[in-house]
Amino acid sequence: MIDKFSLSLPHGITLSCRASGEKGQPVLLFLHGFPEAAFIWDVQLEYFSRPQNGGYRCVAPNLRGFEHSSAPMDVSAYRPKHLVQDIVELIAIETETQGGHLAALVAHDWGGAVAWNLANQLPQLAQRLVIINSPHPGTFLRELKSSPAQQAASAYMNFLIRPDAEQLLARDDYRRLWEFLTHGKTGFETPAWLTDDVMAQYREVWNCGLCGGCNLYRVSPLRPARPEDPAAAAVELPRNMLTISLPTLVIWALDDIALPPALLEGLADYIDDLTIRTVADASHWIVHEKPQQVAELIASFLG
């Protein structure tokens, strides 16, 4: 059973959350991406809260700017340090009886960007890290600078930073957003997981507003360079911002057209204890496509 609630954090941000499992149990925290929301984790929340699967307390917040979470209008409010602060405060509340740390932080897409930062800066807040098709900033920057294939695959990011991106995304019943979810290797085809019920959940989220998701792209320089904007070409990240000491599982769907598997190359240079599990015949939306396999891979990693 999924519990829905809003949590007011000490620094004035409110996060709308979904959760399953008893408070006081070891906590798994799940972070979503764009154009998604916390509901994408419902299968995982229910799976891991069952006693036979660990009996965890499972929590999935909507990031700031998504669904009913606070949505500051200032683009700078979506800088990584602010999103990390939101999650740090949430962890403190949810792990009050657990020594102040998570059993694991699990993240996909933009949620992974937050998770990579948190794991680098505050590794004491989690025992393990699970990343699902979210590029490590070190390998992503390398590919954005040097790989024409990655530059082409990420070209959509420069659309999402347009000042009118929200209006364009909302047109024709969110036509462009449906295309994000249905664009595969062979073109556009509605996948089996995108049922009427799931589409209704997405519409409900998108109807709350799209500026938060677009602001994540606007605030980040990790996007392909253009003549008027050097973007990633002008970025240098010091190694101490990229290293991860937590035991880390990376689950990678190999049919992700935006994030090709070249992003896995060199990961071990940044992560002390790395496990990689690739999944064939799955796209960027693997959390929807293969929820049972995702759960089993995470469960094996958690031991």
Write down the mean pLDDT value for the chain. 97
Summarised one tens digit per residue, pLDDT across range 33-75 is 999 999 999 999 999 999 999 999 999 999 999 999 999 999 9
- Closest by CA position to 118, among listed 303, 293, 246: 246
Give the integer Cα–Cα distance in Å for 202 and 170.
12
**φ and ψ at 108, to 5 degrees?**
-130, 145
Which residue is it, tokens 């997981």?
193
pLDDT band at 149 (very low <50, low <70, confident <90, very high): very high
CA angle, 156 then 162 then 163, to 5°: 155
- Closest by CA position to 285, among listed 155, 147, 133: 133
Mean pLDDT, residues 172-195 taken together: 89
Position 186 pLDDT exceeds 90: no
Give the integer Cα–Cα distance in Å for 17 and 278.
29
Q: What is the CA radius of gyration of the chain?
A: 18
Which residue is it, tokens 């897409």?
109
Domain count, the chain: 1
**According to the model, what pLDDT value does residue 184 have?**
73
Is the entire prediction scored with pTM above 0.95? yes
E strand spans, the chain: 3-8, 14-20, 27-31, 57-61, 104-108, 129-132, 183-184, 187-188, 244-253, 271-279
Position 270 pLDDT exceeds 70: yes
| Sheet containing 271-279, strands listed edge to edge, beginning at the edge strand earlier in sequence | 3-8, 14-20, 57-61, 27-31, 104-108, 129-132, 244-253, 271-279
Mean pLDDT, residues 103-132 taken together: 98
**According to the model, what pLDDT value does residue 247 have?**
98
Here the tokens at position 91 are 């962890």
Domain that holds residue 139: 3-302
Here the tokens at position 75 are 């683009």
Mean pLDDT, residues 211-231 taken together: 96
Contact between 16 and 39 (Cβ < 8 Å): no
Here the tokens at position 2 are 């999924």
What CATH number is given to the structural domain containing 216? 3.40.50.1820
**CB count in 10 Å sphere of residue 165:** 20
**According to the model, what pLDDT value does residue 187 have?**
73
Position 251 pLDDT exceeds 80: yes
Here the tokens at position 126 are 């989690």
How many Å separate Cα 260 from the centre of its chain?
16
The full length of the chain comes to: 303
